Homo-oligomer: A and B are copies of this chain.
């Protein structure tokens, strides 16, 4: 695959608002992991904040709570199989989930977690508040740095004119696919 260009952007809520499934990365410099998250929402534009839901039993949860940091990686349609792989397999049972999913690590700028080289967009996050939801936690985080594929972004939002398709989880191994946009007058 030809190396893609990315641009840093200041409005990460615009990338999360349409509700794509996410790949969450965590790491402390000596170990790392990746898992799939279907439940998330932007929370605030300025300063930029968002929240994800994570099961407390996830292998990665301990790493996230230890570092207080995680990476949000937004996949496009080409990564749908990787998303299912990362949702089905635990870091407890797999030596290297990145390799198993066919994904590559790249270093982040502001957090110790790696990011996903193939992702359509990447957001570096630091947790500011945790809301207990029983068997899972709502992790509320500040969004420290955001970059998005240049060919997938224009006029401060996702741009579907150059082949972008986003995937939205429906349940099990099914996704809704969005590949067009509509402007209402």
* Residues in chain A within 8 A of chain B (CB atoms): 13-14, 17-20, 38-44, 49, 51, 53, 77, 80-81, 83-84, 129, 131, 133-134, 136, 138, 140, 156-158, 160, 166-178, 180-185
Contacts and interface: CB of A to CB of B under 8 A. Distances in A.
Copies of the protein in its oligomer: 2
A37 B17 CA distance: 10
Contact of A17 (B134, B168, B182): B168
A158 B43 CA distance: 26
A168 B178 contact: yes
B167 A182 contact: yes
Nearest to A131: B131
Most chain B CB neighbours (cut-off 10 Å) among A39, A42, A183: A39
A41 B53 contact: yes
Contact of A160 (B17, B77, B176): B176
A74 to B, nearest CB: 12
Nearest to A185: B173
